[in-house]
Amino acid sequence: MAEMNTQEYWRWPEYRHTVLDKDWHNSKIITAGVDVGSVGSKAVVMLDGELYAYSAMRTGGVSEATAVKVMNWAIEETGLKLDDLHYVVGTGYGRVNVPFAKRTITEIACHARGAHYIYGPTVRTVLDIGGQDCKAIRCDERGKVLSFLMNDKCAAGTGRGLEVFADLVSVPIQDLGKVSLSVDEEPQPVSNTCVIFAKAESLALLRQGWPKERVAAAYHAAMADRIVDLLMRVGVEKDFVVTGGVAKNAGVIERVERLLSIKSLKPNIDPILAGSLGAALFAKALYEKQIGLR
């Protein structure tokens, strides 16, 4: 009997990691940032402002439960307990739902701060492409936000849209960007800006006999157009960097770079962690303030 293909092409790998050559017992300040996004939740633990442990997983139906789960997963092999964390900052769409956070700070501020940590002080423009929204952020040499813009309401041009598309063309989401770049000639972008309509339009192209690579190229090109629109409104200044889950999709990023004639810096730390990293860094500053070091 034939089996149905039940592969979840949209599902991206969840993971956790601990920097093994660090020991939290030797650190003075242990802080954490929890970024509860609309699609993914991320937790970061920092020892004296240096990255120590982190995790990323899918956001479940109850944000509070996901916040606890992602934090506990990050510290699972460290011997740390929640009570050992000196200060926790919550960020992301579900930032008010992090029960053990002492304070919330928006993901805009946290992504800029996190991007500064990942990419260094030359960053002036941060593009964060998350699950349901896309943010163009201008910041100063300290990673402080100067101005920003977000997309309106619709999730087209964001991670959730890519998940829907991965399912449609049966390509694992991690491979989508690469597949979209494998065309010889760039097709016209799909014209719809709504995820559902863009999916329907892509489906129509598949039915016309377009290979999935070409449809993927058309879909990614439309995402890039939309993202560039937003970036142009806020203005792009070098250095330009990308954070959020979609930063890992070369099909989107290369097209954005092509349209802007600007290259983005390449990260050494997973850019999906930028928000939680920023939150953990703010947590350090807040703890220093609390104990009179600032």
Partner 1 sequence: MIHKVFETFREWIDSRHEYAKAWKGRTGKKIVGYFCTYVPEEILYAAEILPVRILGSHEPPTVTEPYIFAMFCPLCRDCLAQGLKGRFDYLDGIVEGQSCLHLRQTFNAWRLHIPIDYTHWIHVPHGVQTPHAIPYLSQELAKFQQSLEKWIGKKITNEDLDRGIKILNRNRELMRRVYEYRKLDNPKITGLEVMEMVLSSQMTDKEEHNKLLEQLLQELPNRKLDRNPGVRLMIIGSEDDDRVFMKNVEDLDATFVIDEHCTGSRYLWNDVVPNEDRLLAIATRYVQRVPCPSKDWPEFTRIQHAVDLAKQFRIQGALVIQNKFCDPHGIEVPPLREALKDIGVPTYPLEFDVTVPWGQFRTRVEAFLETLTGLEELF
User: Interface with partner 1 includes 282 (CB under 8 A)?
Assistant: yes
User: Interface with partner 1 includes 142 (CB under 8 A)?
Assistant: yes
User: Interface with partner 1 includes 153 (CB under 8 A)?
Assistant: yes
Of the candidate residues 83, 152, 184, 185, the single one contacting partner 1 (CB under 8 A): 152
Distances (CA, A) of 236 to 197, 240, 254, 263: 29, 7, 16, 11
User: Interface with partner 1 includes 9 (CB under 8 A)?
Assistant: no
Of the candidate residues 122, 147, 188, 191, the single one contacting partner 1 (CB under 8 A): 147
User: Interface with partner 1 includes 133 (CB under 8 A)?
Assistant: yes
Question: Segment near partner 1 (CB under 8 A), from 27-35, 106-114, 181-189, 206-214?
Answer: 106-114
User: Interface with partner 1 includes 243 (CB under 8 A)?
Assistant: no
Of the candidate residues 9, 93, 119, 240, the single one contacting partner 1 (CB under 8 A): 93
User: Interface with partner 1 includes 165 (CB under 8 A)?
Assistant: no
Of the candidate residues 16, 99, 100, 150, the single one contacting partner 1 (CB under 8 A): 150
By CB under 8 A, name the binding residues for partner 1: 93, 105-109, 133, 142-148, 150, 152-153, 282, 285-286, 289, 294
